[in-house]
Amino acid sequence: MASNEFILVGAAGYIAPRHMAAIQSTGSELIYACDTSDSVGVLDRYFPNCKFVLSMEELDKALQDPTLCNVKNSSLGSRFLTICTPNYLHVPHISFGLSHGFNVICEKPLALTTNDLLEIERLERKYARKVYCILQLRLHPHIQELKKKLDGQFADEELKEKLKVSLTYVTSRGPWYKKSWKYDVRKAGGIETNIGIHFFDMLIELFGFPSSYSIGEKTSERLQGSLITPRAEVDFFLSIKKEDLPEKTEKPEKFLIEK
C-alpha cells in the first residue's frame, strides 16, 4: 500500500498532469480522479487503475465505499485531496476535502475573498486538517538563491535604503481566452489572481509583506501598480495583451525582475 493516497479533482485540466506526475514520483497512489469532462486519458500514463467519476456527488457516493470507510479516522498526512479546478470552485472543493477527512492541496488562489479565506481557516480548525496552496516560485532555485543573498544583505543593520524593483510580466492570450472562465472576473478574480498571484507571492517571499500598495491601471487585460515592502519599493506591470510584447520576441511571454 502506498504511503499516501490521493484524490484529484479537476483531472482534465491543464495543470492536472503535473500533479499526477508529482504523486507518482513520491510513490503515492491516486485512488480517485474527478472531472466534469471525460477527456482524462492521461490517467493511463500515470495511474491506469485510478477510479474516475464525473461529479462531486458521484465522488461523495464513492467515498462511502467500505474500502475507504476509515478515511475520516486516517492519520494526519496520509490522505490528500488535490484541487486543480477553476478558481471559483476552490472553496467548495476545499470544504468537501476537509469535511471528508482529507488534507487539501490546492492550486492558486485558495479563495477570491478575505471572508472565504477566513472560512477555510475555520474549517481547518473544525476538521483538524490542513490546506496547502501551490505557490511554486518561492521554491525556484534562482529565487531561493536570490532570497539567500537578500537575507544576507539586509542582515546588515546599517542598511537602511530600500531597493528599487520592477517586475514586468506579459503573456499573450488568443481569442479563446475571452470565452474562458479565466476571463470572467467573478470566476477567476481578475488578472491579479489568475496571472499575477505567483509573482506577488514571490515578491513577498523576497522583500516582505507590503505595508501599502497603489494601483495605476486595472482592466481585464492589464494591471499596473506599486508595492511598498520592508525591503523594496516595487513597480509591477502585468498584461495579457499581445501588443505589450516586445517587438522581436520569439516566445509568447516575457518575465523580468530588475533591480
What are the two backbone dihedrals, phi and then psi, of residue 56, each rounded to the nearest 5 degrees?
Answer: -65, -30
The residue length of the chain stands at 259
Q: For the segment 103-117, what is each residue's pLDDT rounded down to a tens digit?
A: 999 999 999 999 999
Q: Give me the mean pLDDT over the 243-254 stretch.
A: 67
The reported pLDDT for the residue numbered 29 is: 94
**What is residue 219's predicted lDDT score, i.e. its pLDDT?**
94
CA dist 133 and 201 (Å) reads 11
Q: In terms of Cα–Cα distance, which of 174, 162, 170 is closest to 227?
A: 162
- Residue 92 CA, chain-centre distance (Å), reads 16
Greater model confidence, 195 or 11: 11
Give the separation between CA 215 and CA 128, rounded to whole angstroms.
38
Q: Side-chain half-sphere of 251: how many Cα atoms within 13 Å?
A: 6
Cβ-count burial 50-84 (b if 16+ within 10 Å, e if not): bebbeebeebeebbeeeebeebeeeeeeebbbbbb
pLDDT of residue 69: 47
The residues, ordered by sequence, that sit 6+ positions from 196 with a Cβ below 8 Å of its Cβ are 169, 223, 236, 238
Residue 135 confidence (pLDDT) above 60? yes
* Res 204: pLDDT: 96
Using the predicted structure, report yes or no on whether residue 40 has a pLDDT greater than 80: yes
pLDDT value of position 154 = 85
Q: How far is CA 118 from CA 14, 124, 212, in A?
A: 28, 10, 21
Q: Binning pLDDT at 50, 70 and 90, where does residue 227 land?
A: very high
Distance CA 112, CA 45 (A): 33
Confidence of residue 72 (pLDDT cuts 50, 70, 90): very low
- The sign of the CA dihedral 117, 120, 125, 126 is positive
71: pLDDT strictly greater than 60: no
Q: Using 50, 70 and 90 to split pLDDT, how confident is the model at 1? A: very low
